[in-house]
Amino acid sequence: MNIDPKEVFGREAHHYHARRLEYADADIDRIINETKLMPGTMIADIGAGSGILGRKFLEKGMQVVFVEPNRNMRDQCAVNLKATSIAPNRYKIIDGIASASGLEARSLDLITIGDALHWFEPASAATKEFRRILKPEGKMVSIRRLPDAQNLFIQALNSFLINHAEAYSKGQRFIKVSGNSANLPLLENAQRFFSPDFVTYSRKIPVQYSIDQFMDYLRTVSSIADYISDDDNKTEMKKFLQSQVNEHGVIAFDWEVRVCIGTPRKYKTVDISNEVTQLSKVRGS
């Protein structure tokens, strides 16, 4: 089953904004220090969604172009930004994708990507566009968050969804597997987009959700949203979650946050049919 992320995220734009994690100031500050950004720096947030990541850089004094292919997400981004005190002349919201951003050549100091890198296929086409729009000394940053695969609840949830949700079983999963091109681990996927000298770090964030809050979050996950849009499936999902709450009646687990900072990888061609295999050979694995 092929998933159109623009369709899914368009339906769930409000839930996406309400239930996706905020990006931590500590990570934003570290990115600013690593990339030596100054107030007024020009940034493009690619796959910007409802503007959660780009807004953090606006709050730090940067100028941001939000590049997002889904109209509902762009509209939600505009609503969210208008609700702040950020001056409208410091940002703009445009229609575009990773491989065709519509931005001018060599116009950016930084590209930011929040929880979207796995949608940018082919990787070679995306990185070619990134190299085109970045200034010669420009950088790119990816922040990706996934539930901790070592958590017993996440393992149980992963198994439940594989057995019940067709799109999940064939598409993006919470637990990634090395060598599976549709579900590469965070670091392995990043290596397809970044030059070999990129800087990376990860950390974990503990979270708690009520069942209703977690259901709202699941509606923002493209490979799950259609499954729980059906009333019977929604009931089945809630029944499973009720069996998984802790002694305090909440769902608790850690998010793994993976931050990568570097420059776009350069491919000889835009044919990615053997990219994963080629990378494995390069790493000697």
Find out whether 195 and 263 touch, Cβ atoms under 8 Å. Answer: yes
SS3 134: strand
How would you list the strands of the sheet with 134-147, edge to edge?
91-94, 63-67, 42-46, 108-114, 134-147, 251-262, 199-209
Q: How confident is the model at residue 69 (pLDDT cuts 50, 70, 90)?
A: very high
**Amino acid in the structure at residue 110:** L
Closest residue by Cα to residue 226 from 165, 155, 282: 165
Phi, psi of 100 (to 5 degrees): -150, 80
Q: How high is the pLDDT of residue 179?
A: 65
**What class, spelled out in words, does domain 5-266 have in CATH?**
alpha beta
Q: How high is the pLDDT of residue 170?
A: 86
Q: Is the pLDDT of residue 80 over 80?
A: yes
Greatest CA separation found in the chain?
55
Lowest mean per-residue pLDDT among 5-9, 103-107, 112-116, 247-251: 5-9
Q: How high is the pLDDT of residue 208?
A: 95
Q: How high is the pLDDT of residue 285?
A: 27
Q: How confident is the model at residue 278 (pLDDT cuts 50, 70, 90)?
A: very low
Q: How high is the pLDDT of residue 15?
A: 55
Mean pLDDT along residues 94-114: 97
SS3 93: strand
CA distance 189 to 150: 19
Q: How high is the pLDDT of residue 5?
A: 52
Q: How high is the pLDDT of residue 279?
A: 39
CA distance 244 to 238: 10
For residue 57, give both structure tokens.
Answer: 């850089």
Find out whether 36 and 30 touch, Cβ atoms under 8 Å. Answer: no
- Kindly list the distances between the CA atom of residue 224 and the CA atoms of 1, 3, 219, 234, in Å, as whole numbers in the listed order: 12, 10, 7, 11
Mean pLDDT along residues 218-233: 92
Q: How confident is the model at residue 13 (pLDDT cuts 50, 70, 90)?
A: low
Radius of gyration in angstroms for the set of CA atoms belonging to the chain, rounded to a whole number:
19
Q: Say if residue 122 is preceded by a cis peptide, omega within 30 of 0.
A: yes
Higher pLDDT, 7 or 164: 164
CA distance 115 to 53: 9
Find out whether 239 and 167 touch, Cβ atoms under 8 Å. Answer: no
- Show me where the domains of the chain are located: 5-266
Find out whether 243 and 153 touch, Cβ atoms under 8 Å. Answer: no
Lowest mean per-residue pLDDT among 174-188, 200-214, 264-278: 264-278
- The residues with which 261 forms a beta bridge, in sequence order, are 141, 199
Does the pTM of the predicted model rise above 0.85? yes
Terminal-residue alpha carbon distance, the chain: 30
Portion of the chain with pLDDT greater than 70, in percent: 86
pLDDT tens for 14-60 read: 555 566 788 999 999 999 999 999 999 999 999 999 999 999 999 99
pLDDT tens for 116-174 read: 998 898 999 999 999 999 999 999 999 999 999 999 999 999 999 999 999 998 888 88
Q: Is the pLDDT of residue 76 over 80?
A: yes
CA distance 211 to 238: 7
Query: Whole-number mean pLDDT of the chain?
Result: 88
DSSP annotation of 219: T
Residues in the chain: 285
For residue 28, give both structure tokens.
Answer: 């934003």
Q: How confident is the model at residue 177 (pLDDT cuts 50, 70, 90)?
A: confident
Q: How high is the pLDDT of residue 156?
A: 97
Q: How high is the pLDDT of residue 274?
A: 42
Question: Burial, 247: exposed, middle or buried (Cβ in 10 Å; 0-12, 13-18, 19+)?
Answer: exposed
